[in-house]
Amino acid sequence: MCFKTNSFFFIKLSKGAKFFGIICTLISLVATMILLVPIVRNKTLPPLVQLFYRVICFLSIIHFFSGLFLLYGIFKKMPKFMICWILVSWCIGTFFIVIGLLGTISSVLSLDPVSEEPVLQSTVAAIFVIYGLLLIYITKAMTAFKHQLENEHKKDVNIRDIEKTLIETDKEDDDNIQPLNTDRELECEPARGA
């Protein structure tokens, strides 16, 4: 994406990352529980619909566990733990957009325009597209927050290196200092022009 993200919907990156990290993880957990019901209870669904529910449920489970890594990385300020969630979210967001567009195309090309099924399909497809776009935006903002944490970490490492170098230099300078010989009197040169 070409735009820079400095906030989550006008919320600072640090606070927005925590808030949306928790929200996305909870949404994944709720989606998993909701999708498990038709998979377990309803054996009369067509095989293609069952496969669809299973794929979405599997993606929700993966998204939930990667969300746990994300939350750990956010609260401990460890950007390397955020990478898993970012990759999974990019893939899931793209998948939802593609599925939504395919659902829209199939509802437009539906042979029976009188039934309510194309309306339901297009509504579900729109939900998938909107959620996919929202997920990609949040992922972009999380990536910006991850880069911000990495830059802060690099600055901290650079400051520590500079402090360490200064301390070592001070120790070397202290070793090179010659003590003053107080037994000898200091010779003063006469002032010029006097």
Task: Please check whether residue 188 lies inside any domain of the structure.
Answer: no
Task: Please check whether residue 23 lies inside any domain of the structure.
Answer: yes
The answer for residues whose C-beta is within 8 angstroms of residue 70's C-beta and 6 or more apart is 21, 24, 25, 81, 82, 84, 85, 86, 142
73 vs 77: CA distance, rounded Å: 5
Predicted pLDDT of residue 176: 60
Predicted pLDDT of residue 1: 45
Give the mean pLDDT of 11-23.
Answer: 83
Task: Please check whether residue 151 lies inside any domain of the structure.
Answer: yes
Give the mean pLDDT of 54-62.
Answer: 90
CB 78 within 8 A of CB 60: no
In this model, does residue 169 exceed pLDDT 80?
A: no
Q: Tens digit of pLDDT for each residue in 72-108? A: 999 998 989 999 999 999 999 999 999 988 888 877 7
In this model, does residue 144 exceed pLDDT 70?
A: yes
CB 146 within 8 A of CB 83: yes
Task: Please check whether residue 40 lies inside any domain of the structure.
Answer: yes
Task: Please check whether residue 189 lies inside any domain of the structure.
Answer: no
Higher pLDDT, 95 or 39: 95
Task: Please check whether residue 79 lies inside any domain of the structure.
Answer: yes
How many structural domains compose the chain? 1
In this model, does residue 170 exceed pLDDT 70?
A: no
- How much is the pTM? 0.70
Structural domain containing residue 133: 7-171
Other beta carbons within 10 Å of 69 = 18
Task: Please check whether residue 190 lies inside any domain of the structure.
Answer: no
Give the mean pLDDT of 41-59.
Answer: 82
Higher pLDDT, 166 or 41: 41
Predicted pLDDT of residue 84: 93
Nearest to 62 by CA among 34, 94, 29: 29
Task: Please check whether residue 194 lies inside any domain of the structure.
Answer: no
What average pLDDT does the structure give for the chain? 79
